[in-house]
Amino acid sequence: MSRPNIESATQAPGRPPLTQAGEPDHIQQYLTFVLSGEVFAIGILVIKEIMEYANITAVPMTPPYVRGVINLRGAVVPVLDLSVRFGKPASAVTKRTCIVIIEVGAGTARQVIGIVVDSVQAVLDIPGTEIEPAPRFGMNVHTDFVQGMGKVDGKFVILLDVDRLLGPEEVEALAEVSEG
């Protein structure tokens, strides 16, 4: 199963800031994916590529949300299970399960990681006027991870803030796993 490669070579690392309401001409692109039956999205500027789920090597003494590491063209890349990170059961692996390779950061530290998703859906253009702030209650995901709520075809899509998926110590620990 082949997955599209999404390059961010023309953009600086990181994600653009959340657009302000009232900027109808400012449109951002987001990759949507399913995780535990819910639709999430992340800005395409942090996505390096999408690959089939395969060959993950478990690493002892890592947090439960770390599935293990993969070899990505000679580099060791940690792979996280977002379901576990969000306090849910581990994602079941199916023929549609993918690993999305992204770059996350905390402060000045940047780290390439993989995230396990149930399935990838599409790349969507979401105008700034269709993005609402994250609610502070009533979500199945801790709202620190949420950048906002995008309205697409009358439904909400949870926009994740990938730079808040991990704290600075966690980014540093994953960098050590990658190097060691």
- Assess if residue 90 is contained within a domain: yes
For residue 60, the enclosing domain spans: 27-179
Find the angle CA(154)-CA(156)-CA(157) to the nearest 5 degrees. 130
**Domain membership flag for residue 13:** no
Rg (C-alpha) for the chain, rounded Å, is 16
Domain assignment present for residue 10? The answer is no
Task: Output the pLDDT for position 118.
Answer: 94
Residue for token digits 């599209």? 4
CA distances in angstroms from 20 to 38, 40, 112, 127, listed in the order given: 25, 20, 28, 10
Task: Give domain status of residue 175, yes or no.
Answer: yes
Query: Per DSSP, what are the bridge partners of residue 89?
Result: none
Query: Any idea what the CATH number is for the domain that residue 72 is in?
Result: 2.40.50.180
The number of domains in the chain is 1
The answer to the question of residue 18 being in a domain is no
User: Residue 169: which H helix or E strand, with range?
Assistant: helix 168-179
- The model's pTM: 0.78
The CA-based angle 94-97-101, given to 5 degrees, is 160
In a domain? residue 148? yes
Mean pLDDT of successive 10-residue stretches along the chain, which has 180 residues = 41 41 66 92 94 92 92 93 89 93 79 93 90 70 77 88 79 70
Domain presence at residue 97: yes
Q: How many CA atoms lie within 13 A of 9 on its CB side?
A: 4
**Would residue 5 count as lying in a domain?**
no
